[in-house]
Amino acid sequence: MPDTPSPAPRRFSAHSLEAVRQRGCMVEGRTFEEAAMAFVEEWHPDADADGEASVIVEDCETGEAQCFRIDLGSGDAEPCG
């Protein structure tokens, strides 16, 4: 069975939930979660009392946005909620 090519990276704007919208940073990723992790690795947002950061990721092409809570110690991510 032939390998299915992975989707091409997309452009996203990402910022921590605590940051002002104008401080969004451009990141690339194949998925929203991958883009959120790229933001954390590049910009090192501040952790809350639980050692987590909330990151909003918006697809630059479609405008769709998703939020993730990322544990800055383990790197685990889950949708905000």
- Asked if residues 14 and 27 have their Cβ atoms less than 8 Å apart, the reply is yes
Query: What span, in angstroms and rounded, lies between the C-alpha atoms of 36 and 6?
Result: 18
- Cα 76 to Cα 18, 22, 36, 40, 45: the distances in Å are 19, 26, 11, 12, 15
Domain-embedded: residue 5: no
User: Is residue 4 situated within a structural domain?
Assistant: no
Q: What pLDDT is stored for residue 24 in this prediction?
A: 85
pLDDT at position 4: 75
Global pTM exceeds 0.95: no
Which strand ranges, in their side-by-side order, compose the sheet holding 77-79?
A: 25-29, 10-16, 52-59, 65-71, 77-79
- Look up the domain containing 46 and give its range: 10-79
Query: Does residue 1 fall inside a structural domain?
Result: no
Question: If the chain, 81 residues long, is cut into consecutive pieces of 10 residues, what is the mean pLDDT of each piece?
Answer: 78 88 85 97 93 96 97 96 84
Total number of domains constituting the chain: 1
Would you say residue 40 lies in a domain? yes
